[in-house]
Amino acid sequence: MPANLTPDFLAAQEKYREAKTIEEKIAALEEMYATLPKHKGTEKLQADIKSRLSKLRNKEKQEGKRSKRYDEFYVPRHGAGQIALVGPPNSGKSSLLARLTAAHPEIAEYPYTTRIPTPGMMEFEDIMIQLVDTPPITLGCGDRSVISLARNADAIALVLDASDADVLDHIDGLINDMGKSRVKLTGSREPADIYEAGTVSRRTLLVANKVDIPDAQVNIDVLVELYGEQFTVQPVSAVTGEGLEDLRRALFDTLGIIRVYAKQPGKPPDLEKPFTLEAGSTLMDFAAAVHKDFVRKLRMAKAWGRDIPDGAQIARDHVLQDGYIVELHA
């Protein structure tokens, strides 16, 4: 059976060939696996990528142990954004990471299987988002290392066992532990603002896992009633796959970013490699991202988007939306 490798896979493969560091090679391999068509014709290739990932991760770990400055809770960012998966024991964080990315975290029925952070790259349409599985936080005993990692991430996903009778206690405990460490959890579409000295806000998504278990829906209804105005509640099952595609979209929304595509005058737009910007970014923010010279030399810009006529000329302070195509004229 032919492999039928996609352009995204071939681009990731080229990144791997050009990668010089272990981190770059791991990120490229994860992207290769995520964009590889999954069928019988690619089984050997899938196995080869997994094997190379395993060897590189072991090498990275060994090199880290030899370094005095090594911090196993420091996870370098890759992709369009980093989201920390945080939750109580056995909430299913590792299972979700395995379903959404090429990562292979240790998964077991007993608690505390995850002892160190495990990153993985999740494909969402035409970009990659980094998810980081973290050790569980026990009720009332917030792990400073986990909270520090979540604090430094771009966004947070609180993963909860929707079938757990203590799910409300767990979410209250997580919010409280984060608050004690001066991390304010905000809704997925609220701005990630800075509060009083030392306090930061992080956009947060509530992931109600294990919806395949009987009676879980009752708890989900309660979560929506109590927290639905503050957070987006996303039901999902890591076991059956129910809600996984909706979860990908929800995680993207939680990052608070938009994708903008560049178009050179007289040429078709580049729809394969979007620029990612913070939601609310203007034309000049995009111009600076393309090249710093555009900030000084920009004469005009045309744009295509759902809320404007095709090819409309836009002002410098025009707020861009996700999916915009922008043509810059210097």
Taking only the tens place, the pLDDT of each residue in 160-184 is: 999 998 899 999 989 888 888 888 8
Domain span holding position 226: 82-255
Q: Examine the pLDDT at 1 and tell me if it is beyond 60.
A: no
What are the backbone dihedrals phi and psi of residue 46, each rounded to the nearest 5 degrees, phi first? -60, -45
Does 71 reside within a domain? Answer: no
Same domain, 272 and 248: no
Average pLDDT over the chain, rounded to whole? 85
Does 1 reside within a domain? Answer: no
Give the tokens for residue 152. 């430094």
The model's pLDDT over 100-141, given as tens digits with 9 standing for 90+, comes to: 988 776 655 545 555 688 899 999 998 999 999 998 887 655
Average pLDDT, integer, range 225-254: 94
Q: Examine the pLDDT at 189 and tell me if it is beyond 60.
A: no
Listed residues 255, 285, 316: the one ending a domain: 255
Average pLDDT, integer, range 287-292: 89
Average pLDDT, integer, range 287-308: 90
Same domain, 117 and 224: yes
Same domain, 182 and 53: no
Confidence at 68, pLDDT banded by 50, 70, 90: very low
pLDDT at position 66 is: 53
Q: Examine the pLDDT at 148 and tell me if it is beyond 70.
A: yes
Same domain, 90 and 177: yes
Least confident of 81-85, 130-134, 142-146: 142-146
Does 229 reside within a domain? Answer: yes
Does 305 reside within a domain? Answer: yes
Listed residues 221, 239, 255: the one ending a domain: 255
Could you tell me the CATH number of the domain that includes residue 320?
3.10.20.30
Would you tell me how many other CB atoms lie within 10 Å of the CB of residue 87? Answer: 25
Structure pTM? Answer: 0.75
Same domain, 210 and 226: yes
Could you tell me the CATH number of the domain that includes residue 129?
3.40.50.300
Query: If phi over 0 gives left and psi between -120 and 50 gives alpha, with beta otherwise, what is residue 201?
Result: beta
The model's pLDDT over 9-23, given as tens digits with 9 standing for 90+, comes to: 888 888 888 887 888
pLDDT at position 303 is: 94
**What 3 state SS string does the chain have?**
CCCCCCHHHHHHHHHHHHCCCHHHHHHHHHHHHHHCCCCHHHHHHHHHHHHHHHHHHHHHHHHHHHCCCCCCCCCCCCECCEEEEECCCCCCHHHHHHHHECCCCCCCCCCCCCCCCEEEEEEECCEEEEEEECCCCECCECCHHHHHHHHHCCEEEEEEECCCCCHHHHHHHHHHHHHHCCEEEECCCCCCCECCCCCEEEEEEEEEECCCCCCHHHHHHHHHHHHCCCCEEEECCCCCCCCHHHHHHHHHHHHCEEEEEEECCCCCCCCCCCEEEECCCEHHHHHHHHCCHHHHHCCEEEEEECCEEEEEECCCCCECCCCEEEEEEC
The total number of structural domains in the chain stands at 3
Same domain, 247 and 320: no
Confidence at 217, pLDDT banded by 50, 70, 90: very high
Average pLDDT, integer, range 249-255: 95
How far, in Å, CA of 316 to CA of 320, rounded? 10
User: How long is the chain?
Assistant: 330
Q: 284 CB contacts (<8 Å, ≥6 apart)? A: 295, 298, 316, 317
Same domain, 106 and 143: yes
Average pLDDT, integer, range 195-222: 88
User: What residues pair up with 194 in beta bridges, in sequence order?
Assistant: 200
Does 39 reside within a domain? Answer: yes
How far, in Å, CA of 329 to CA of 319, rounded? 18
- Nearest to residue 280, comparing CAs of 182, 191, 220, 173? 191
Listed residues 215, 237, 255: the one ending a domain: 255
Average pLDDT, integer, range 269-297: 90
Best-predicted range by mean pLDDT (3-12, 65-74, 107-116):
3-12
Average pLDDT, integer, range 190-214: 80
Q: Examine the pLDDT at 69 and tell me if it is beyond 50.
A: no
Same domain, 208 and 159: yes
Same domain, 248 and 264: no
Same domain, 41 and 91: no
Same domain, 273 and 155: no
Q: Examine the pLDDT at 142 and tell me if it is beyond 70.
A: no
Give the residue, 142 or 28, on which the prediction is more confident.
28
Q: Examine the pLDDT at 294 and tell me if it is beyond 90.
A: no
Give the residue, 153 or 68, on which the prediction is more confident.
153
Q: Examine the pLDDT at 36 and tell me if it is beyond 70.
A: yes
pLDDT at position 251 is: 96
Does 96 reside within a domain? Answer: yes
Does 73 reside within a domain? Answer: no
Does 77 reside within a domain? Answer: no
How far, in Å, CA of 14 to CA of 162, rounded? 41
Q: Examine the pLDDT at 213 and tell me if it is beyond 90.
A: yes
Same domain, 207 and 249: yes
